[in-house]
Amino acid sequence: MSLGDLLKNPVLIGGLLAWLSAQALKPPLEYLRSGEWKWHVVLSAGGMPSSHSALIVSVTHGIGLFVGFDSPLFALSLAIAMIVIYDAAGVRREAGKHAERINFLFDELLKGHVWSEEELREVIGHTPMEVIGGVLLGLAIATANWMWWI
């Protein structure tokens, strides 16, 4: 496999174009939001639009269009897309709120101010038991589905 082969892959090209487009749109959209040109957002993971979501949705849709929406590859890609989108919208956002709040607390502490006692959400992931429960449920449903079709 060569670089030329990779450049002939329409799903890969679509995904990369979606990612690059999302990154390129960040500075003008940030300008519209804040009135300032912040070119560093081109290289940032956050901001509008989510390049993670753009990439994975483009690849997932491309797989559906080029390979088929009924293929196992599409199913895998859709599952990964759901995880990436949930992570982008949920876990990563919550972590960003934590960082924002911690920065505020440090600023207030340095100024000698007392801050609000509102608690931060400390657990943003899953416990090992929650993961095991999800694995077992997934295995059970996949097995039941397979048994239904044989």
pLDDT confidence band for 116 (50 / 70 / 90)? low
Domain spans in the chain, listed from the N-terminal domain onward: 3-149
Residue 148 or residue 133, greater confidence = 148
Per-residue model confidence as pLDDT tens digits over 22-76: 888 888 888 888 888 988 878 876 677 777 888 888 888 889 888 999 999 999 9
d(CA 38, CA 27): 6
Task: Name the DSSP class of 87.
Answer: I
Query: How many Å apart are CA 142 and CA 4, to the nearest integer?
Result: 38
Tell me: pLDDT of 16 over 80: yes
More confident residue, 5 or 133: 5
Average pLDDT over residues 127-144: 53
Nearest 5°: the CA angle 54, 56, 62 is 100
pLDDT, residue 89, reads 64
The 10s digit of each residue's pLDDT in 136-146 is: 466 556 675 66
pTM, 2 dp: 0.65
Write the CA distances from 42 to 28, 31, 89, 100, 146, integer angstroms.
Answer: 10, 12, 19, 21, 45
Q: Region 119-135: what's the mean pLDDT?
A: 47
pLDDT at 80: 94
The confidence score (pLDDT) of residue 121 equals: 46
88-114 residue pLDDT tens: 666 666 666 777 777 777 777 777 665
Q: Is the pLDDT of residue 123 over 50?
A: no
